[in-house]
Amino acid sequence: MNRRKFIQNTALTGAGIATGVAAMSCKEVPEEKDIAVSTTKSISKSSYISISTWDTSSANNASGELLAQGKPALDAIIAGVAVEEANEENTTVGIGATPDREGNVTLDACVMSPDGDYGAVLAVENIVHVAALARKVMEETPHVIMASKGAEEFAYTQGFKKQKLLTPASEKAWKEWLKTSNYQPAINVENHDTIGMLAMDSSGDIAGVCTTSGLGYKMKGRVGDSPIIGSGLFIDNEVGAAVATGMGEEVLKTVGSFLVVELMRNGMSPQKACEEAIHRIVKKGDRYKDFQVAYIAMNKTGETGSYAIHKGFNMMKYQNENAEVIISDYYNK
């Protein structure tokens, strides 16, 4: 399935009906009637839940299935996003991702654990599974962020394989782009499909991860929100978790994921908190018309929410062996 399309649960109504993944079908643009404003199902202590950004059902189901086996949230999310990092057809993460203007594929990722620990890698080349590498930074070093060559060299000491990330398809697309070098990222296409995933395991512990190649045809050295704690991702195991996707510059300037979690701490539902974080961006002026940002969030009682600036964003949800797609509500109607 092309990532520019959006999968839709054909039976989705109201707050979303859970069905098997096999029942999902491709559709270019979601219908208004299919928009789920929020989900409010509370979960028991022995329940579990995994949510992820965009059309990432295989990744989210992989996470959900591990949670169903009683695995910790941190293990589930790292294994989950690895599915998309290895998917050459996904042009926004891992192998096959869109390069920078000079043809270098550089990846960013971060992870947060239930105990509030954090690890991140920035601008890493030649390593596919950068989310797992971010976890290694968190668990095996005295640091929290490693960048570029240093992160890559650390990866080899941890047994990661060197792999060329620019595939024949992504190289061909880059060479085509070079003919005009026109840099105007299209909403929901180049700007863009970061995978963020949040999970709560059957012990009630929450972990999260974010992995991306950043903006397609970005300037060499550009880093977005995804590997930056509080912007691309934030977990507070007492409260809940949030993760962002879209134009990273705007998420960074509003410290968006931390904001969502703090709003939940102050009593907002995940849905309302995502909406407020988007409002903080759009109220700055009309520029939001040219870019997409979206958040997904969950709290400790298993409520989830999602909200975007523009139409076309969706969230995957896996809970108690049911997979569903939540087509997100949005600001710019």
Give the catalytic positions in this structure: 194
Residue 94 binds ligand GLY, judged by CB under 6 A = no
Residues 7-32, buried b or exposed e (16+ Cβ, 10 A)? bbbeebeeebebbebeebeeeeebee
Write down the least CB distance from residue 231 to ligand GLY, Å.
9
Among 246, 256, 270, 305, binds ligand GLY (CB under 6 A): 246
**Residues 107, 165: contact at Cβ < 8 Å?**
yes
With both helix axes pointing from N to C terminus, report the angle between 148-157 and 130-140 in degrees, rounded to the nearest 10: 80
Closer residue to ligand GLY, CB minimum distance, 83 or 97: 97
Q: How far apart are CA 110 and CA 321, in angstroms?
A: 27
248 binds ligand GLY (CB under 6 A): yes
Nearer to ligand GLY, 185 or 270 (CB): 185
Q: Which of 16, 214, 230, 240 binds ligand GLY (CB under 6 A)?
A: 214
Which run of H or E residues covers position 60? helix 57-68
Rule CB under 6 A: is residue 106 a binding residue for ligand GLY? no
Tell me if 302 contacts ligand GLY by CB under 6 A.
no
Q: 55, 100, 201, 225: which one contacts ligand GLY (CB under 6 A)?
A: 225
Helix axes 57-68, 73-85, angle to 10 degrees: 150
Per CB under 6 A, 236 contacts ligand GLY: no
Query: Does residue 226 bind ligand GLY (CB under 6 A)?
Result: yes
Least CB distance to ligand GLY at residue 67 (A):
25
CB of 190 or CB of 329, closer to ligand GLY: 190
Instruction: Choose the binding region for ligand GLY from 17-25, 223-231, 259-267, 319-327 (rule: CB under 6 A).
Output: 223-231
Instruction: Report the distance separating Cα 202 and Cα 43, nearest Å.
Output: 10
**Token representation of residue 187:** 């909403």
CA angle 305–62–231, rounded 5-degree value: 40
**208 near ligand GLY (CB under 6 A):** no
91 binds ligand GLY (CB under 6 A): no
Assigned token pair, 44:
């028991």
Minimum CB distance to ligand GLY, residue 33 (Å):
29
* CA 54/CA 40 separation, integer angstroms: 20
Among 16, 99, 114, 224, binds ligand GLY (CB under 6 A): 224
- The residue (of 27 and 280) whose beta carbon lies closer to ligand GLY is 280
Side-chain half-sphere CA neighbours of 173 within 13 A: 16
Q: Does 212 bind ligand GLY (CB under 6 A)?
A: yes
The rounded distance, in Å, linking the Cα atoms of 209 and 118 is: 10
Sites for ligand GLY among residues 13-42 (CB under 6 A): none
- Compare residues 36 and 122 and give the one whose CB is closer to ligand GLY: 122
Site size toward ligand GLY, by CB under 6 A:
11
Sign of CA dihedral 281, 181, 216, 186: positive
Question: Going by DSSP bridges, is the β-strand pair 293-299/240-246 parallel, antiparallel, or unpaired?
Answer: antiparallel
Whether 332 and 310 have beta carbons less than 8 Å apart is answered as yes
Report the alpha-carbon distance of residue 81 to residue 196 in Å, rounded: 8
Specify the stretch interacting with ligand GLY by CB under 6 A; choose among 20-28, 71-79, 208-216, 255-263: 208-216
Q: Please give the residue ranges that form the binding site for ligand GLY (CB under 6 A).
A: 194, 212, 214-215, 224-226, 245-248
